[in-house]
Structure 1
Amino acid sequence: MSAPHAARVSAVPHSRARLSRQLSSLGAERGGVLMVHASLRSLGAVDGGADSVVAALRDALGPGGTLVVPAFTPENSDTSPQYHARIRGLGDQEREAVRAAMPAFDPATTAAPSMGRLSEAVRRSPGSARSAHPQTSFAALGPLAGHVVADHQPDCHLGEDSPLARLHELRAQVLLLGTGFGSCTAFHLAEYRVPSPPRRTYRCVVRDGGKRRWWEYEDVALDDSDFTALGADFEREQGAPVRTAAVGSATARLFRFPAAVAFATRWLPAHRRGAVENRTAHPATRTAVT
């Protein structure tokens, strides 16, 4: 199914009820598990703001449905693109002052500002659960929230010991709400499933026994620089795996998690062959996890 043009920006704020109807028409599965990446700016004005969007998503899923969002925190890492942008042009003492002021990750309280207003609204919602990874946590609401976020190992960003593997097992749906495939976290699980993926070192601030300390670990070298091209090929795949429609003022895309991972697992080795050194030296620019 080809992508429609985004709906015109409405002079009247979109209502929770209207968004819920549009999400249901798109194919959001009642009683299912849905991972969402959203740009609320693209969605347009909504009566009630981000909380109403969360409510509309939960209305579409019904009481048995589970809503999942990324709650990544690159702000506590000195190996992230965000950190390097922040210290650009600073002297040694100024850089050290920035590092000294970086807060340790606390799953109960640490905000995820780079993930957007929807993710923050889900994270702050009563009853939400959050995984414990200090850089790539996920927040969830619904009956399966605890199961999705459980046992997220601290040395596995987005692989088999992360919520992405649980979402794959549950045959979750993925919703790109006003965002492109460059934001599609599901593709990262495929990076762990290709033969001999490159690895790199990560470092972040954690809390250990009530004390703040730096922790260094090795994991797969994540790279979303080609996810837009990957998504375009996935969208063109025979059998129309991606459904598209207007939701609010945005274009929304909906697809199954396993379909995206299976396609990416085939696509990545063919399209990244010979680029391992560049990918290791120049890690992810948009995925805020390094």
Structure 2
Amino acid sequence: MPFPTTSAAELRHHLDRLGIEPGDRLAVHSRLLSFGRVEGGPALVCQVLRERIGESGTLIVPAYTFDPVPPFDPAHRPGEGVGALSDHVRLLPGAIRSLCPIHSHAGIGPEAVLLRQSDPECSLGPGSDFDLMRRHGFKVLLLGCGFSEGCAYIHHVEAVAGVPYRHWLTLARQRVEPDGGLRPVICRYYARSRTDLTPDFEPVRRRLDAAGLVASAPCPLGESHACRIEDLHAVTLALLRDDPMALMGGG
């Protein structure tokens, strides 16, 4: 069986099926390998996304850095394990990156400036990038990846809900300032304390699907999903209030 290839036209049709529209504010997590070989690579994917949302739309991607070494440099340090599309967006002229040394995001578009309004000492929970995206009407787009693989926003809801398998840590970090100096930062992080359990976010997807609140579409080697972050937040919070261990599978 030949390795699949995805064209720009096929990507546009994929976004049609996911309900992505002009003016959308998108938080995109991606696994481009699910599309096989994309003609034009991550630059083409970014172009198609920006064409779809238009000049009034905003595109935000993860740029997470969990290792404290080297110091967090918002201008130059790449994200860890966030994929080729995220790195492409981060390097675009005019892209803005938030200042949290753990859960930073990079964005392009008129609402990307919001990333400078989050609290750089909060990686999750109130004041974080995730909180800001919910309050400003973003959608989450899981491009070629599932909820368990790509929906980092759910960790924010775990922090809001105060789940019993995580606990707050204060982590010392350093951030490189525009003048090249180092600034110490104390960042709040909601870490897992139960390593014997495996996260499973499929219950969230199933509830969203049952309520008609998520659009899904197959791609050559996987599936994509899109929903409003407000709906994702409400459904996940309700699920965790019913059962605080609902997102933890077996060991």
One-letter amino acid matched to 2:228: R
Judged with a 3 Å threshold, the aligned counterparts in structure 2 of structure 1 residues 206 and 123 are, in CA distance, closer, same or farther, namely: same
Greater length-normalized contact order (CA 8 Å, ≥ 6 residues apart): 1
Find the partner of 2:151 among 156, 159, 184: 184
Structure with greater helix percent = 1
Find the partner of 1:220 among 169, 176, 190: 190
Please list, as runs of the form range in 1=range in 2, the aligned pairs for 1:1-290 lying within 5 A after superposition. 11=4, 13-75=5-67, 77=68, 102-147=69-114, 149-182=115-148, 183-194=150-161, 198-207=167-176, 210-212=180-182, 215-221=185-191, 225-237=198-210, 239-247=211-219, 249-272=221-244
**Identity fraction in percent:** 30
1:113·1:120 contact (CA, 8 Å) conserved in 2? no
Which structure would you say has the larger Rg? Answer: 1
Residue by residue over 1:63-112, the C-alpha shift from the partner in whole angstroms, topping out at 9 and shown as x without a partner, is: 2111111110113x2xxxxxxxxxxxxxxxxxxxxxxxx21111111111
Alpha-carbon distance in 2 for matches of 1:44, 1:203 = 40
Alpha-carbon distance in 1 for matches of 2:2, 2:129 = 34
1:43·1:177 contact (CA, 8 Å) conserved in 2? no
Alpha-carbon distance in 1 for matches of 2:224, 2:163 = 34
Task: Report which stretch shifted further, 198-207 or 165-174.
Answer: 198-207
Judged with a 3 Å threshold, the aligned counterparts in structure 2 of structure 1 residues 125 and 250 are, in CA distance, closer, same or farther, namely: farther
Residue by residue over 1:185-207, the C-alpha shift from the partner in whole angstroms, topping out at 9 and shown as x without a partner, is: 22123223225873223233433
Residue by residue over 1:226-267, the C-alpha shift from the partner in whole angstroms, topping out at 9 and shown as x without a partner, is: 342433443443x22111113465411111100110111111
Alpha-carbon distance in 2 for matches of 1:51, 1:20 = 14
Shift of 1:38: 0.7
Query: What SS does the corresponding residue of 2:227 show, helix, strand or coil?
Result: strand
Residue by residue over 1:108-167, the C-alpha shift from the partner in whole angstroms, topping out at 9 and shown as x without a partner, is: 1111141111110110111211101111100111111112x1222232102221222222
Judged with a 3 Å threshold, the aligned counterparts in structure 2 of structure 1 residues 190 and 26 are, in CA distance, closer, same or farther, namely: same
2:89·2:106 contact (CA, 8 Å) conserved in 1? yes
Judged with a 3 Å threshold, the aligned counterparts in structure 2 of structure 1 residues 57 and 206 are, in CA distance, closer, same or farther, namely: same
Unaligned stretches of 5+ in structure 2? none
Alpha-carbon distance in 2 for matches of 1:205, 1:105 = 6
- Tell me the TM-score normalised to structure 2 length: 0.83
Task: Report which stretch shifted further, 177-186 or 258-267.
Answer: 177-186
Structure with greater strand percent = 2
Judged with a 3 Å threshold, the aligned counterparts in structure 2 of structure 1 residues 214 and 170 are, in CA distance, closer, same or farther, namely: closer
Question: How many corresponding residue pairs?
Answer: 241
Alpha-carbon distance in 1 for matches of 2:113, 2:246 = 40
Alpha-carbon distance in 2 for matches of 1:51, 1:259 = 30
Unaligned stretches of 5+ in structure 1? 1-7, 78-101, 279-290
1:69·1:122 contact (CA, 8 Å) conserved in 2? yes
1:21·1:60 contact (CA, 8 Å) conserved in 2? no
Alpha-carbon RMSD across the aligned residues, in angstroms, is 2.9
2:90·2:106 contact (CA, 8 Å) conserved in 1? yes
Query: What SS does the corresponding residue of 1:146 show, helix, strand or coil?
Result: helix
One-letter amino acid matched to 2:134: H
